[in-house]
Amino acid sequence: MATAVQPLLVLSDERIEDEVRRATFIGAGAAHDRRKTARLVALCVSDYLIGLVAIGLSLRIVGSDQAQVLFFFGVLRALGWPAWRVILSVWLEHNG
């Protein structure tokens, strides 16, 4: 006795086209999010490296208040700017 297997779900051609179009839009949005995340990571890494360079330069300056100012600028640049950049980008994404 042969049994006929019926499809679990029957979709019209119009519905299939709508689902394909929807999946295409979702894929384009995911690619945009990946580019945005890569840009944010690159900016944070560059801020960190600029801060490290400023700290390194401050260690070469001897006997001046400029060394202390440059050191603190480097610490703020290396640690503060990437943190605030991420916080503000997430906040603007949800509220902007």
Any domain includes 83: yes
- State the Cα–Cα distance between residues 49 and 33, nearest whole angstrom: 24
Residues whose CB is less than 8 angstroms from the CB of residue 75 and which lie 6 or more positions away in sequence, other chains included: 51, 55
Specify if 80 maps to a domain: yes
Considering the domain boundaries, does residue 73 fall inside one? yes
Q: Is the pTM of this model over 0.75?
A: no
Q: Is residue 20 part of a domain?
A: no
Rounded distance between C-alpha atoms, residue 96 and residue 88, angstroms: 10
Helices 13-60 and 81-95, axial angle in degrees (round to 10): 160
pLDDT band at 1 (very low <50, low <70, confident <90, very high): low
pLDDT per residue over 3-61, tens digit each? 788 888 888 889 889 999 998 888 888 888 889 999 999 999 999 999 999 999 999 98
Between CA 66 and CA 3 the distance in angstroms is 87
Is residue 13 one of the residues assigned to a domain? no
CA nearest neighbour of 89 among 25, 39, 32, 29: 39
Domain holding 62, by residue range, is: 40-96
